[in-house]
Amino acid sequence: MLRNATVANVAMQDVFSDHVTLQRMLDFEAALARAEAQVGVIPATAVQAIVSRCDAGLLDVAQLATAATASGNLAIPLVKQLTRLVAQIDAEAAKFVHWGATSQDAIDTGLVLQLRDGLDYLEAELGKLAASLAVLTAAQRHTPMVGRTWMQHALPVSFGLKAAGWLDAVLRHQDRLAELQVRVMVLQFGGAAGTLASLGEQGLQVAQALADDLQLDLPATPWHAQRDRIAEVGTVLGLIVGTLGKIARDISLLMQTEVAEVAEPVAEGRGGSSTMPHKRNPVGCAAVLTAAVRVPALVSTLLSAMVQEHERALGGWQAEWETLPEIMRLCAGALEQLQQIVSGLTVDEARMRANLEITRGQIMAEAVTLALGAKIGRLQAHQLVEKACHRASVQGLHLGDILRDDPVIQSDLSATELARLLDPANYLGQADAFVERVLQAYEQRALREF
């Protein structure tokens, strides 16, 4: 636990705790009793005794853990314990515990109930991150900075555009989560082989009553061996964590001492070194990147687990049990860390401007080339500016000084025009328009949710 503290998230740990896992399976058993009594499959007099014992606090968890290993899943010993608990107060009612269901019905529906809580939490946290990114984007929309390709200076961009790119991805993930829940929030109820034969002609009636009780949709068929829903949850969360990792990577690179354009929030004991007092490490980014490294392999486990045998799986289903909750926990932890970083991010606009000048004006070579090319042709302009860049590098001079001394360039570009072309703030293209489009999309989404 201590080793994983950097990516731990208390809320998601609770959603997938042992106690809650057992309780959600018991919630299924209680709802099953109510649904079957409603349809007339079991006596109405059995319901109260069964429901009253569907309390995880009454279970012998240590005994369950031992028995689950021998049984092959948790539901088998859980149903046995529940039956004994019910028999203690009503022997007749105990006969109708888990009536017509199979272990996978309880386990999968219990998981769906946990996913409902977990995905609702992630949706809310993603909304908070989007709000913080929108604030950052709006505040920095006109701040010029170095755009980097292949880890090298390329052209000027705005920090607002970079943040807008982050925000735009998060907005897409919000859509994915919403779409995902429509397909995933469904009941699992098919009995031993997915036919509900144990309930005869009343099977679909019970299934619908059970789904209504649990506030889940009733799918067209049971999905014991069709695991696309579970895999979709994992893959969507994998996409989210990938985006969180991209943002964390950008921020950590911008925090490097030689760059120093942004910094994580300052807090007591945060980002220090055990030996170097001067260090300010990107510890939040490290936590996010830890999740981004681990989650893809976990997602691949879920995708591999989709290839299941006939009507019930041998190994693939079981491989999901720890994998999906771990993805949920890692995603929640990464979201929590990144939200803290973005909401308190320190932005050094002066340093961004200073870094634009590291190449002594050469970052603006394209702007000069295009302006000159419009007068003398692109190829000749490119050759002239390329030579000027080389001379500036060799002599350690600013590109503007070299250009102003070139008689050919002087004849086509005035000193005023050159000064304008060499100002990074004048070569941001459609950056502000792109920022505006993303901010409008964010605001429109916020209005729809309101």
CA dihedral 327, 23, 73, 43 (to 10 degrees): -140
Please, which residues bridge with residue 347 across strands?
262
Catalytic annotation on 304? Answer: no
Instruction: Indicate which residue of 172, 280, 294, 312 is catalytic.
Output: 312
Which distant-in-sequence residues (6+ apart) come within 8 Å of 158 by Cβ?
140, 141, 142, 143, 144, 145, 428, 431, 432, 435
351 has catalytic annotation:
no
Among residues 84, 183, 270, 273, the one annotated as catalytic is 273
Q: Exposed, middle or buried by CB within 10 Å (0-12, 13-18, 19+), for 300?
A: middle
**Rounded to whole angstroms, how far apart are CA atoms 34 and 97?**
11
Contacts of 385 (CB under 8 A, 6+ apart): 365, 368, 369, 372, 403
Tokens of 80: 């046995």
Alpha helix (H) residue ranges in 255-313: 283-304
Placement of tokens 């030689």 in the chain:
258
Task: Answer for the pair 115, 15: CB distance below 8 angstroms, yes or no.
Answer: no
Asked if 329 and 12 count as a contact pair (C-beta separation under 8 A), the reply is: yes
* Whole-number Å distance between alpha carbons of 30 and 53: 9
Q: Are the C-beta atoms of residues 406 and 388 closer than 8 Å to each other?
A: yes
φ and ψ at 155, to 5 degrees? -135, 165
Question: Which are the catalytic amino acids?
Answer: 273, 312
